[in-house]
Amino acid sequence: MLILRTFVLGIKSLLLHPMRSALTVLGIFIGVASVIWLLAIGEGISQEAQRQIEGLGADNIIVRSIKPLNPPAGGSNSFILAYGLLRSDYDKLISTIPTIKSAIPIREIRREIRFRDRVVDGRLVGSVPEYAEVTQLQVDRGHFITDAEVKLQDPHCVLSKEVAEKLFPFEDPIGRRIYILDHLDYYQVVGVLKHRDATAAVGGSLSAQDFSKDVYVPISTMRRRIGDTIVVRRSGSREGQTVELDQITLRINSIANVMKTARLVKTSLSHHDETGDTAVVIPKELLDQARNTRLMFMVFMGVIAGISLLVGGIGIMNIMLATVTERTREIGIRRAIGANRADIVRQFLAETIVLSGVGGFIGIAAGYLCKPSVLLLRYVLESYAPQMIANLPDVVRNVVPIIVPVSIPLAFGIAVVIGVLFGLYPAYRAAQMDPIEALRHE
């Protein structure tokens, strides 16, 4: 009952100076809200990055062809650069490394794709049936590439949702034939995929993947019809490149064997080290790094937000010291009618707890507004500053804040503790006043 009466008296004292009390509460409110917001945004960015890495498959190893920075010169066809993974590399990997469950070869070529008078600047992807599972592609109509189509080198293709909508806005694409410019090739559409979100660049050797303009064909068909060498003529000059495989995705029989297999893969491809035209990307390793980075990021964000709470605590001390000076005569009267030093300390601590507690509760309420506020801000920027949004990294552009549950009690607890700690000195100073001198104070 005594404690309740003390808090009621403290609230009445604070209400005598509402503006000053509100500004003090504001400092704690900003500190608590910033803890929740920063940790929520950090968690959202981290989860998005981990989701994109997990989309590559934690039990996969990705080997990519990379165009050399300093290509070798000379030769009868010096304008044609040969680099990257070879089919012999593919055969060597699957025949010598027992932990590889399966290997998926991929060949990619940028081409204009036409149906009647409609043209799409897309990407022709040659692969095998397992490619859809690894990249999480889902069929909307028809079917994906089959083993029979790969074996028979059928001129069949599967369209991404966006390509199908642009080439066939008013008709069903299944059974229609599309035309690949530069190669005078027709491909019959046997399937249409559902929408697949783009992935951000992961690691220094794996670029962002945009699936919206893809057309998938059997890799055997691509090799027979297009070949390995691509020559581009522009402005009276020509340049070409010979690439057998752009990527090999290796599926490992166990996550526990991923790192060991990665070392064997690098050893098997060591003959490419001199030219530096291949790179090995290990999603599991990137995922572990992302999780470690998340912890560091959360600590960093927490420290920054903690500084805001510290500033709010200093504001409480400042206000309470001023309050002690203003209420010197009141303290003297209370001591004169029987209040001891513990009563005075309890009175001023109650006021600091009320200030920090109210600020903490308002901060928590504001913290839960993080997600809708960020989504609203993104909507406004997309409407009025689309170019600025487009220039942001995918991880940041697509981030959805995720409230970290522990941040709620943590932020509130720190706010109250800081309020008590910074209120101790003013309370102690008030309790140490001499009653006679306090009564004489004007």
Strand 100-115 versus strand 247-252 pairing type: antiparallel
pLDDT (average), residues 50-56 = 64
Task: Decide: helix, strand or coil at residue 67.
Answer: coil
Cα–Cα distances in angstroms (integers) from residue 10 to residues 30, 246, 312, 331, in the given order: 23, 72, 19, 13
**Cα(248)–Cα(62) distance, rounded to whole angstroms?**
6
Instruction: With a cut of 70, say whether residue 20 has pLDDT above it.
Output: yes
Residue 132: is it exposed, middle or buried by C-beta count within 10 angstroms (0-12/13-18/19+)? buried
Contact (Cβ atoms closer than 8 angstroms) between residue 250 and residue 61: yes
* Per-residue model confidence (pLDDT) at position 155: 92
pLDDT tens-digit profile of 279-302? Answer: 888 776 666 666 677 777 777 766
Angle, nearest 10°, between helix axes 283-326 and 328-336?
70
pLDDT band at 277, cuts 50/70/90?
A: confident
Contact (Cβ atoms closer than 8 angstroms) between residue 226 and residue 183: yes
**Cα(430)–Cα(419) distance, rounded to whole angstroms?**
17
**Cα(80)–Cα(231) distance, rounded to whole angstroms?**
8
* Per-residue model confidence (pLDDT) at position 206: 55
Place of tokens 């004007």: 442
Other C-beta atoms closer than 10 Å to the C-beta of 172 total: 12
Type of residue numbered 243: V
* Per-residue model confidence (pLDDT) at position 290: 64
pLDDT (average), residues 414-427 = 78
Task: Decide: helix, strand or coil at residue 250.
Answer: strand
* Per-residue model confidence (pLDDT) at position 62: 87
Q: What is the pTM of this model?
A: 0.62
* Per-residue model confidence (pLDDT) at position 204: 47
- Report the chain's terminal Cα–Cα distance, integer Å: 33
pLDDT (average), residues 207-222 = 86
Task: Decide: helix, strand or coil at residue 169.
Answer: coil
* Per-residue model confidence (pLDDT) at position 413: 84
Where is pLDDT greater, at 371 or 414?
Answer: 371
Instruction: With a cut of 90, say whether residue 436 has pLDDT above it.
Output: no
pLDDT band at 205, cuts 50/70/90?
A: very low
pLDDT (average), residues 141-170 = 93
pLDDT tens-digit profile of 64-116? Answer: 998 887 665 544 456 678 888 999 999 999 899 999 888 999 999 988 899 98
pLDDT band at 334, cuts 50/70/90?
A: confident
pLDDT (average), residues 393-421 = 79
Residue 117: is it exposed, middle or buried by C-beta count within 10 angstroms (0-12/13-18/19+)? exposed
How does the average pLDDT of the chain come out, rounded?
80
Instruction: With a cut of 50, say whether residue 339 has pLDDT above it.
Output: yes
